[in-house]
Structure 1
């Protein structure tokens, strides 16, 4: 199975940013690709999304999430809740092994296959194998620096890449202003 990644997002009054590393790991010991892009802009560039977990599963979820965004005129929370409900109740989707991190100008959310839609308390969050490292770095950067959100997301992934073997330093960043 192809997996292993780190995705981080933060929101400030200056914008919302999401960053993802480029490593795709096959099993637990082989780096299969170093330059994958696991984040993208959706819904006319107004929503950011990133995934952690199985690549094929995440692509399926991206497609379904984008359809939900269209159905709900870009309403991030409503589209997220509807995807989580479908993901949890559908026999095929229920087996997907991935997490989505989605964001717009107002919210950052994690969507899981067990039906959760989680909004972080302090506008920073990270998922994936290096997620806890990136999350800790983001929390400190948000608290103790005045960096732009895209710089905080980037630096948190650099920190994770120096600790987590499933995270590399080929980082893609997207920002909403």
Structure 2
């Protein structure tokens, strides 16, 4: 993410991963926040539940900016209940056109039981083709690992997310293994027994 404000510290440090598979939707986020080469927090919570637990959201970027966007998304979800795509598109439109919101430096991963969206400040609302999306400094590592795990294992969405995040934490210095994982959907008894 390019810094448009030269006085801001060089913030890095997050990986957010969304996985949807066999009736489960998961968003996982690591807990590391770094300022330059220094870890300033290891247990940040970057994944939230919204809309009475029907929507998950994870963020990468400036924390205050992300919280502002999540609050806006919650308002859109109240305006358009059970219409996650419409709420995300409306948020992206506001984010792109509003003078204040345009300055916000964050990205969101948003999911419900049937959809995952990446929402950006340039007006993008992207739905992944393979039920997996990721943002943040370790996002490409987690995304690659999750895609491989989905293609070559029988793991459920939460297991895929946890393993992919562990792989990202081993590769990306701005990602740690202290995870927040939120899950939507019901696990089958067979999946629970395997846990």
TM-score tier (shorter): over 0.9
The residue matched to 1:64 in structure 2 has which SS? helix
2:16 paired with 1:16:
no
> RMSD of the alignment, in Å?
0.9
Structure 2 residue 146 is matched with structure 1 residue 113: no
1:37 CA displacement = 0.5
State whether structure 2 residue 139 is matched by structure 1 residue 131: yes
Residues 14-93 of structure 1 mapped to structure 2, 5 A cutoff: 14-26=23-35, 28-93=36-101
**CA contact under 8 A between 1:3 and 1:55: conserved in structure 2?**
no
TM-score by length of 1: 0.97
1:7 aligns with 2:16: yes
State the distance in 2 between where 1:154 and 1:56 align.
Answer: 26
Secondary structure of residue in 1 paired with 2:75: helix
Aligned to 2:105: 97
CA distance in 1, matches of 2:39, 2:120: 25
Larger Rg: 2
Classify the secondary structure of the residue corresponding to 2:165. Answer: helix
Paired residue secondary structure (1:162): helix
1:144 Cα deviation (Å)?
0.6
Counterpart CA distance in 1 for 2:83 and 2:23 is 21
Give secondary structure in 1 for the equivalent of 2:52: coil
Take 2:56 and 2:171, find their aligned partners in 1: how far apart are those partners?
A: 26
Deviation at 1:74, TM superposition (A): 3.0
